[in-house]
Amino acid sequence: MDAWHAGEIAVQERIGVRRQADRLTQLLKREIPTVAHDFLRAQPWVIVAARTTEGTVWVAQLTAEPGFLEIPDPRHLRIRTWPPAEDPITPTLCPGAELGLLVLEPESRRRMRINGRIAACDGDILLRTEQVYANCPKYIQARRWTLTPQAAGLETSPGTVLTKRQQEWIAMADTFFIGSTHAQAGTDASHRGGNPGFVEVRNGTTLRWPDFAGNNMFNTLGNINVDAHTGLLFVDFEHGHQLQLTGNAVVLWETPEITRYPGAQRLIEFTLTQVVETRHASALTWELLEHSPFNP
């Protein structure tokens, strides 16, 4: 397994952190470490990114009672739940498909990324792992979850332009999840966080946000560097609703507008092609405990 693909290397070299990134290769494993088993079993959700046959990327949240993530052996993760048929990610989940997973525990600010390929779909999703590693706690807002039965059915609204209410939702978000892809390295799911308002809604199809100092791997930016297809997921943590966007992203390396974004090292601009809003998407609700001390 090559640690970095050409897109990641190009970004690391452009920013001048190539040597630092190479020191991190020891963190990248194929196997799920034993020390992570209890962490995975304790989670009520997982963030999943997948790519359609047309190349578009979608991000979804899968939720269930803790224990739905199982580790039958070090190279496999079994997911004992399934997204609803209405979710745009559902048609992508078939044997051979590449998945990017982010397992996030907001209360402790721990997170783990697991990328791989679906080995079987037999009522569950069995993922064969290709890349496993833990991330730093930066920009994660501390939240405590509650899992309650869903009283209302799903209400799904697709579109190609953000409504005024959806724009207001995004403009007040302190967290979102991003999926990106690479033809050989596969699909990746990641987290972005900041103070409320860190995502700028420029119009009904365009978003912009700052890219803060991170772990120097540049998985997401490396993917975008070679494939603009990107998916975003915004979660209404209080009510269990979600907003899924798919489109194209570009890195704005040098722009005088960067001074308007505290802490930004560069900017990312995203143009959506489709949006799906789902009311009552999850039985999870979250209580905000504290914003991240790393937020600019």
pLDDT in tens, 240-265: 999 999 999 999 998 999 999 999 99
Q: What percent of the chain has pLDDT over 70?
A: 99
Domain containing 264 — which CATH number? 2.30.110.10
Residue 189's pLDDT band, with cuts at 50, 70 and 90, is very high
List the domain range (segments joined by +) for residue 257: 6-290
Residue 70's pLDDT band, with cuts at 50, 70 and 90, is very high
Contact 242, 281 (CB under 8 A): yes
pLDDT confidence of residue 8 = 92
Place of tokens 């799911």: 189
Domain assignment present for residue 126? The answer is: yes
Give the model confidence (pLDDT) of 84-124 as tens digits.
999 999 999 999 999 999 999 999 999 999 999 999 998 89
Task: Domain count for the chain, please give it.
Answer: 1
63: nearest Cα among 291, 290, 287, 286: 286
Contact 67, 95 (CB under 8 A): no
Domain assignment present for residue 205? The answer is: yes
Domain assignment present for residue 1? The answer is: no
Domain assignment present for residue 219? The answer is: yes
Burial category of 173 from C-beta neighbours within 10 Å (exposed 0-12, middle 13-18, buried 19 and up): buried
